[in-house]
């Protein structure tokens, strides 16, 4: 996921560190989405998991730019500076939302 040179994200990280952070956030949110899907398939009492499902919806919203960026990268499409800046601004919210889903899943 190449970004231009400079400092990136909410913590003003060097490019390489920020790229690793973005990749880790993407992997975490994908793992949480998979775990929620498995939970839904195996649980008949889905109503008991309303908080998890709401948290997952927020995660999907907060990770939207990251998912679009990765999708465009995989498809070999132009990601553009505008999308890169959205990823920079939203990566913390994406990470936070994914960690919240992870905590809720562990607590059940």
pLDDT(65) > 90:
yes
pLDDT tens, residue by residue, 25-47: 999 999 999 999 998 887 656 66
Place of tokens 């231009």: 4
Q: What angle in degrees, to the nearest 10, is found between the helix axes of 50-62 and 15-42?
A: 150
Q: What is the reported pTM?
A: 0.85
Per residue in 84-102, pLDDT (tens digit) is 999 999 999 999 999 999 9
8 Å CB contact between 13 and 7:
yes
């Amino acid at each position: 996921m190449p970004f231009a040179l400079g400092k990136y994200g909410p913590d003003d990280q060097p490019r390489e560190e920020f790229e690793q952070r973005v990749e880790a956030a993407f992997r975490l949110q994908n793992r949480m989405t998979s775990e929620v899907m498995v939970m839904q398939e195996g649980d008949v009492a889905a109503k008991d998991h309303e908080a998890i499902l709401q948290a997952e919806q927020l995660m999907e919203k907060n990770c939207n730019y990251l998912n679009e960026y990765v999708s465009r990268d995989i498809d070999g499409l132009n990601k553009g500076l505008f999308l890169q800046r959205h990823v920079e601004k939203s990566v913390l919210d994406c990470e936070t939302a994914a960690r919240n889903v992870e905590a809720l899943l562990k607590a059940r």
